[in-house]
Amino acid sequence: MHDNNRFIKNEENLHIIDKILGKKFKTSLSVYLMYGDWLVVRPQFSKLFNTPDIAIETFLNYIQNDKFLPCSFIGSKEHWIEAIKYSIKGEIGYTLWGSGDMSSSTGINNRYQEAYIKKDGNRILPSDDRIMVAVLRVSGLGIIGFGLVTDVETDAIRSFIGWHEDDRYWITRFRIKIFWLHESIRNNPTDYDRWQGDNIELEGTNTQTNNCYTKDNHKAINSVKRFILSKKDEIKPTLEFYINLLRSEPQIKEEAITISSKINCKNSNNDVKVEDVYLPQGITGIIIKSLEKGNVLFIGPPGVGKTKLALELVKSLSGNDECFNIVTANSLWFRRTLIGGESIREGSVIWKSGLLIQAYVKASKVNYGNYYIIIDEINRADVDKAFGELFTIFSSSNPKDWFIPRALIDEIKSYGDKVDEYTKEFFNIYEDLRKQGKENEPLKKIRIIATLNLTDARNLFYVGDALTRRFTSFYFDYPKGTEDLDKFLRNYNLREEEKEEIRDLVKYLREKLEEKDKIIKFNISPASLKSALEIYSSFDNRNIDNFILILKSTLGTLNQDKIDKVNKLIDNWKEIKEKENNEEK
């Protein structure tokens, strides 16, 4: 009798989560339990993950030409039931297996590197010269399947919910794309008593433990090759078994897109309201002209007004809240976030639109003006990984060169109706415009304003030239003197003595911090001053000590070294002022 306790406990946990936070959270949790939702296949391996016919042909070509390293993964029926259940209910078409001892873990990792990795000096590169193939064996039952080993992971933090870890820990875990699953399992996926296997020995392999074999083990290679070729006619039914699981999932519920048929994104009044933002004289007009011609990037340390300026620009230029979207980048951004890609919704695999596809739909409805995307703190994202395809689309700084790649259209088409509502509308708009030769016109109406927090001058290196080549870049530094402070002080009813004392303090701090922080950029930002003045002006009994306390609380950093530096400079300033007062007396 199979023990389902561990699986049941997990189901109960999800049920509790569902009750507390609702179905939406539960669905998103299932996505995070899945390995490959945010991973994309490298081009040299893409045929193995293509349509069934192409994948089978490619897989068998490796096998027939002995271009593979064989593995034999063995375990209890109880554990294999949970692993196959993952391939049916979790990440469809993929199973997991693990190793709990050092020798087999080391051997599997070594074989993985031998199969898939080559060296070029100090660099490691992916290699498609060979693949790694796993034979799946149940103790006492026989071989139940085989597949392609796609990745090997060392994970001491998490455990697979289906495997007991009473006395062993499955810290090395590998993922396998299943190419053949025994017919008895395909016909009876939940009737475990009816599962069967091919109880045969494969020469050169060990049936007692997990093992992967070198290219010199010809006995293992030949015996595994013969077995796989004997099952070649069952590979396509196996792949279709998993494809049908995807097709049988619930249909996607339609979403409403609340955008009017045509929108005006050009404000008749071109005055940009930037009263709350300190800008060098004449820069506003240059930024507006640059934005008319393409995308812009605001670079500078935190608190200098980059995000505020971006928002004020798009609000003033468009005069319409429907004409822009603002998002904050993070380290989890991938191609799917920006462009779109495969996702899970209510158990269904769908193609979900990303930021750009949604912007294309909205830009297609713009009658006058442009549609704006503000990407705040772009430095938080891994630019090379997340923005690769975006760089292809925005191939230069000139909108005339921008285009939607045909491969993206073909990818969306391959999902049929399994797309979200934005994607469906995007595809219809694109195809209608393509007939007129205008499919890239909405793209030319999109403008991106990105902000980059430059707390360290070396960070700019990691952003990459690809980003700066496609954006007109504007650098904003901390003000050198007190011009921004003077502008802010006009809005508050303070005594002249107060204003003068605050000016003197801020000027001193900025000069000294500028001297000390040539590489690590930190200073008193306009945002810090504005926040401090807002609080300070509300006090009835005001003095410089109150202002200093407030300013310390608005510095915008938790870095103790920076805080200590400011505190020390404030103490020095107080000593100077005290000495000056004593001399006057």
Q: What is the pLDDT of residues 346-368, one digit of tens each?
A: 778 999 999 999 999 999 999 88
Cα gap 255→249, rounded to integer Å: 18
pLDDT of residue 252 exceeding 90, the answer is no
Does the domain spanning 42-247 belong to CATH 3.40.1160.10?
A: no
Percentage of residues in the chain having pLDDT higher than 90: 51
Q: Which residues contact 131 (CB under 8 A, 6 or more apart)?
A: 48, 59, 62, 67, 68, 69, 115, 116, 148, 149
Judged by phi (left if over 0) then psi (alpha if -120 to 50, else beta), residue 300 lies in left
Q: For residue 180, what pLDDT band results from cuts at 50, 70 and 90?
A: very high
Cα gap 74→211, rounded to integer Å: 9
What CATH number belongs to 263-475? 3.40.50.300
| Token pair belonging to 394 | 């925005």
Per residue in 72-118, pLDDT (tens digit) is 999 999 999 999 999 998 889 999 999 988 988 999 999 999 999 99
State the amino acid at position 584 in one-letter form. E
Per residue in 291-341, pLDDT (tens digit) is 999 999 998 888 888 999 999 899 988 988 899 999 998 888 888 899 999
Per residue in 121-179, pLDDT (tens digit) is 889 999 999 999 999 999 999 999 999 999 999 999 988 888 877 778 899 999 999 99
Element (H, E) at 137: strand 131-138
User: Average pLDDT for residues 180-192, to the nearest whole number?
Assistant: 93
